[in-house]
Amino acid sequence: MSTDPGARPPEPSLDADEAELGDLSDEELRAAYEAEMARIRVEDVLVQTVISLLNLAARRAGLTGQDEEKDFDQVRQAIDATRALLPLVEPALGPEAKQVRDALAQLQLAYARSGARAPADPSPSGPADPDPKASATAQSSGRLWIPGQ
């Protein structure tokens, strides 16, 4: 090992980590997995998911400088998923939520500039309304519409 103060310490090899896992019995692996599952919180998984979505979308939008094919359908899906998860992760992120919102805004801007369009939804996601007049009346009156009534 070098005594040079500017020298970086050697990085651990993945092979060593794999060898350590390979030395564990099935019972020990199961116990390690259970310990990890007990430690991880849902918020951690949600935050990691949002970060992964943003990173993937940035690559697919061509914002990383990598020479990759752009895929704005993937960008749109990542934007939609991030927007859906953002209210759930903002409390866990605290002040860092601003960075996530800024990254999302950059992706939305890249998507808008790309000229890509979201696919048209030919039909609503629910069953067809057998009496559109009744539905329109309920919506315009502010009353709650209940199917079958």
Q: Given a cut of 90, is residue 122 above it in pLDDT?
A: no
Residue 117: which region, alpha, beta or left (left: phi > 0; alpha: psi -120 to 50)? beta
Residues whose CB is less than 8 angstroms from the CB of residue 50 and which lie 6 or more positions away in sequence, other chains included: 82, 85, 86, 89, 100
Model-level pTM? 0.62
Tens digits of residue pLDDT in 83-93: 999 999 999 99
Which has the minimum average pLDDT: 2-16, 25-39, 65-79? 2-16
Q: What is the residue whose two structure tokens read 């310990």?
A: 35
Where does the pLDDT of residue 137 fall: very low under 50, low under 70, confident under 90, or very high at 90 and above? very low
Length of the chain: 149
Q: Is the dihedral of CA 126, 130, 132, 135 positive or negative?
A: negative
- Report the distance separating Cα 114 and Cα 51, nearest Å: 22
Inter-CA distances, 104 with 59, 62, 69, Å: 13, 14, 20
Q: Given a cut of 50, is residue 3 above it in pLDDT?
A: no
